[in-house]
A and B are shown apart, each in its own frame.
Chain A
């Protein structure tokens, strides 16, 4: 079966660091994506990992361990505008096959 797990909700304060975890069990693996989705809007692309290790992009970093079926999204120097849902998604095989999405983690950032 295909399964992607991530926490339902997280809270943090402005300026802090937060790590959102994602574990996956899929029939194959051709990359893991993180998307950000603000309330009432479409998801927007944040990051892509296909090899083990850390990918850094400004305040956001994403890590992948294929052997453990595990990824995390690290958000630094949190801002109020980072309050959103964060979706973990896996491409189970070759490009074109649809992404499988987790249920999303709703992050609330307070001042």
Chain B
């Protein structure tokens, strides 16, 4: 099993550009999440999804959009990139009833906006 796969691993964007961070999991997990991690600030929730066709905002959703058309994929879209979006982005998933195992994380996408 590949687990949670994130692409790309690194990206440099110019201010105002757009991009999609890809996240795919092959564990048939219903729950998927996007977090961003800034130095010294911990993981902040951007968006999450409890199943295909269902998404909801987290703590820091502004400037981002998501979709969940399949159980496997949960892409994160950045429109009009800004320097404040420079961060490391982690996608994670969790199974229904899998509370005691927490998340499976992807390896992360390191994004720099210049």
Contacts and interface: CB of A to CB of B under 8 A. Distances in A.
Contacts of A74: none
Interface residues of A, number: 24
A103 B97 contact: no
B106 interface: yes
B100 A103 contact: no
Contact of B108 (A8, A33, A42, A96): A42
B30 A96 contact: yes
B7 interface: no
Given A43-B103, A50-B100, 11 more contacts: A30-B99, A41-B108, A42-B90, A48-B100, A48-B101, A96-B31, A99-B102, A99-B103, A101-B42, A101-B43, A102-B42
Contacts of B96: 95-96
Contacts of B44: 101
By Cβ-Cβ distance, the 8 closest A-B pairs, closest first, are A103-B42, A42-B105, A95-B99, A101-B43, A33-B102, A48-B100, A101-B42, A98-B45
Interface in A52-111: 87, 89, 91, 95-96, 98-104
Interface string A19-43: 0000000000011010100000111
A95 B97 contact: yes
Given A98-B33, A98-B58, A45 B103 contact: yes
B98 interface: yes
A44 interface: yes
Nearest to A88: B42
Contact of B40 (A8, A35, A95): A8
Contact of B99 (A31, A42, A98): A31
